[in-house]
Amino acid sequence: MTRASLEKQPHEVAEMFDDVAEKYDLTNDVLSLGQARLWRKEVAKAVDARPAQKILDLAAGTATSSQPFAQAGAYVVPCDFSLGMLSVGKQRHPHMPFTAGDATRLPFADDVFDAVSISFGLRNVQETDKALRELYRVTKPGGRVVICEFSQPTWTPFRTVYTEYLMRALPPVARAVSSNPDAYVYLAESIREWPDQPALASRLQSAGWSEVAWRNLTGGIVALHRGFKQA
């Protein structure tokens, strides 16, 4: 199996990420032209982790996204369904409580986390709405969700250029730096098919989240959505 289809069978997507785990963070930095680091900083600001808070970082991969929360003094649980990603992450951060878990059936009790976050992972979940409800379930009343995901550029000429980059430039660059370039063809296709900012906000509201809002990053290439669980 070299790549997953847009039907997103969970085992196919997990195997795909297992294949690219070792060079995943490096590849992301290259393909995003360095923007991935900026996006992670904005996620950290939006989550606003505090000492002693419990944070779930879903689709955490190797836990690169989890580090800012831990550095803020929070207890962070990196969770992912790719065992390859978790294995690489555990080698790099042996002190962190890496947890294998499916976003649609999280292995946590109700009302556990002060904040839940998922960066560039919701798009890979087969049942998006079920995952949003699961995130709601494990969040404490008054807690918050932050979703960082690829979205739709807001300026039409730029959106055209961006789509061309995804479908033409991204695969050859991925072949040069990734152990599984076909995974990044899937990435490009899944970004192109993903709902825009208002559509994702609507799905968050349908899952129970209130005060849902979003903020565009890099012209809408990426959007940060945030919502709260009513106390």
Which residues are documented as binding site for S-adenosyl-L-methionine?
Answer: 62, 80, 102-103, 119
Q: What share of the chain is helix, strand, coil (3-state, %, to 5)?
A: 45, 20, 30
**What are the angstrom distances between the C-alpha of 90 and each of 38, 55, 60?**
24, 18, 12
Strand 139-150 to 222-228 pairing: antiparallel
Phi then psi for residue 145, to 5 deg, are -120, 140
Angle at 44 between CA 231 and CA 77, to 5 degrees: 70
Could you give the C-alpha distances from 123 to 129, 133, 153, 216, 228, in angstroms and in order? 11, 15, 16, 17, 20
Binding residues: 62, 80, 102-103, 119
User: Locate tokens 């993903």: which residue?
Assistant: 194
